[in-house]
Chain A
């Protein structure tokens, strides 16, 4: 159905200086993963009996939150049919796909018995009271949905490729079926996303004595959902800008800026929930305690929410790739900090002897996963029809990752 879509270039090795740096980080990450695999959690992490969850879990939760751009974009483009934003749908899909995939990689590293990761599928082990069961089931379903959404992109690459006519016909058939199923897949994707984004917050509702009152609230699930929806578009915009920078395209600022108009609106909804919850629970008294927790809470709200929210109010920011990129990055960092606060900084076991600081291996694997994610994003965008007009624009050499 996309005869007009140019078949993208073949693989060009990512060998620019920036890409080489990412390769290095990813390589170190692989080494860290191998070390974790052969020497275990005790040797590779600083996790303790008091702090059973470290930055790998934060990486999971943050990646999934940032990958929310996949479902918010799917909602606006495919459910509400705002065709104007069609160009970001596929880059957002790839971002979500890789975000969830690498969240699974980090999760597998963190699980003591990673080979039992499939256990929640077995009805004999279902445990419907667990928020994590809900998350596990939804993430598995949504990962499937994302790969089905990727099918048409994959098939379009080969449909009209004269080199493999038979394979092209197979892809054509798959493409036809996938396209027909797509409306259902989009609706399921958005629905499932809302469920597990919220459940990720609900996980910590089970630890009322440990989570700092600045974050502990019965509506933690709602806050997680709203913040995920809020950070979706900024992430998509940021990734798109990075993609344009890496591929040397001029970013379509009119469209991205228009998408950014939603941001202050979404930020204020999230802020309203957060401040409303705070005033009902009277937790604002903890802001004055000048602790690590109160500092990071203020940083999260002011630096990662209010500041970028106000920034995106201005047309000048929305039309400047650099300023818009900064605002979006701040929002992303704000949400990452929020997840870190809820899962680690605000988590205060009563019998603790020493606080947890991540080990080198934990950092290496986390950073390596993000680097690999960037490289793969760049490769997929180049190999498959993700960003329209890419072929024309990049007929020369390509260098650098993003």
Chain B
């Protein structure tokens, strides 16, 4: 599943932000705060206490609509998420419905997911002394997957039908249909179709995405290359085991001659030590440097 965001329809009401805060159990902005436009003065990124933010960008020349474009930022729920590939204990997981979820019980707080995420979305609760967690949008996974809610809270809250929840393939078809129908209203680019290997969240815009704070992350999914190399090196553990075998062979081939070993045996009352571990004593070179 996924969400199609049509940026041309968003008027910056930030109802999605409020709904998200409510659903996540964070501080909910009041009606007065939602109407306060001063929040748009500078770009706000999602934080450990806010999974989504709406920012305002100047539409610039040659764009449809008013003088501003509002952009909702949140976890894009990659098809092949780098955070999940990074997490060494599997706390980050891509669920069947597309959500990328986080399991605080598994997490040890290494923050590799934050390093790996090309969209720079996961946030850390540095201020929590005893049990800090990674924080990011969960796509309301627990509620949507259990059927408690039909769609994520932000989608439900949007009064402008700017967010559409549905099957990713259908949303993509719909996005391209809209571009085809109104080629003058949209740039011919669905952000998220190929970005970082494709994401569950898809964006339509009238203004080129690089002017709206969207990161240029390339089309390759970061785990593709990284996992291919790693699984090549660890191919069924054959290369590591073969490497150890080569080392063992070298150890056996270069073993010291029997003569000095026999001497060791003579001054040793214990069983003869294995060849490799022989001669821990009297390093030749130290003789010259023994004295102060």
Contact = CB atoms under 8 A, between A and B. Distances in A.
Interface of A: 1-5, 38-42, 45, 47, 49-50, 52-53, 75, 78-81, 83-87, 110-114, 116-117, 119-120, 122, 125-136, 152, 172, 176, 179-180, 182-183, 186-188, 190-191, 194-195, 198-199, 202-210, 218, 221, 244, 248-256, 258, 347, 349-351, 387-389, 392-394
B251 A81 contact: yes
A221 B233 contact: yes
A19 to B, nearest CB: 18
Contact of B86 (A1, A45, A130, A347): A130
Q: Which of A50, A79, A250, A256 has the largest count of B CB atoms less than 10 A from its CB?
A: A79
B208 interface: no
B226 A191 contact: no
Interface size class of B (residues with CB under 8 A): 35 or more
A256 B283 CA distance: 12
A244 B289 contact: yes
19 contacts: A1-B270, A38-B129, A40-B129, A45-B126, A79-B247, A79-B251, A84-B285, A86-B280, A87-B284, A112-B133, A130-B86, A183-B248, A190-B244, A206-B82, A208-B220, A258-B285, A351-B45, A389-B286, A389-B290
Contact of A252 (B227, B279, B285): B285
A198 B292 contact: no
B225 interface: yes
A39 to B, nearest CB: 6
B152 interface: no
A207 B85 CA distance: 11
Residue in A172, A205, A393 with the greatest tally of chain B CB atoms within 10 Å: A205
B45 A2 contact: no
B108 A119 contact: yes
Nearest to A47: B126
A207 B243 contact: no
A152 B280 contact: yes
Contacts of B116: 206-207
B250 interface: yes
A75 B251 CA distance: 9
Given A87-B283, A112-B124, A125 B90 contact: yes
Nearest to A138: B240
A121 to B, nearest CB: 10
Interface string B146-180: 00000000000000000000000000000000000
Given A40-B132, A42-B127, A116 B281 contact: no
B211 interface: no
B247 A81 contact: no
B126 to A, nearest CB: 4
Nearest to A36: B129
B89 A127 contact: yes
Given A112-B109, A207-B222, A86 B279 contact: yes
B291 interface: yes
A53 B286 contact: no
A181 to B, nearest CB: 9
Given A78-B277, A84-B285, A120-B89, A191 B45 contact: no
B223 A50 contact: no
A190 B229 contact: no
A254 B285 contact: yes
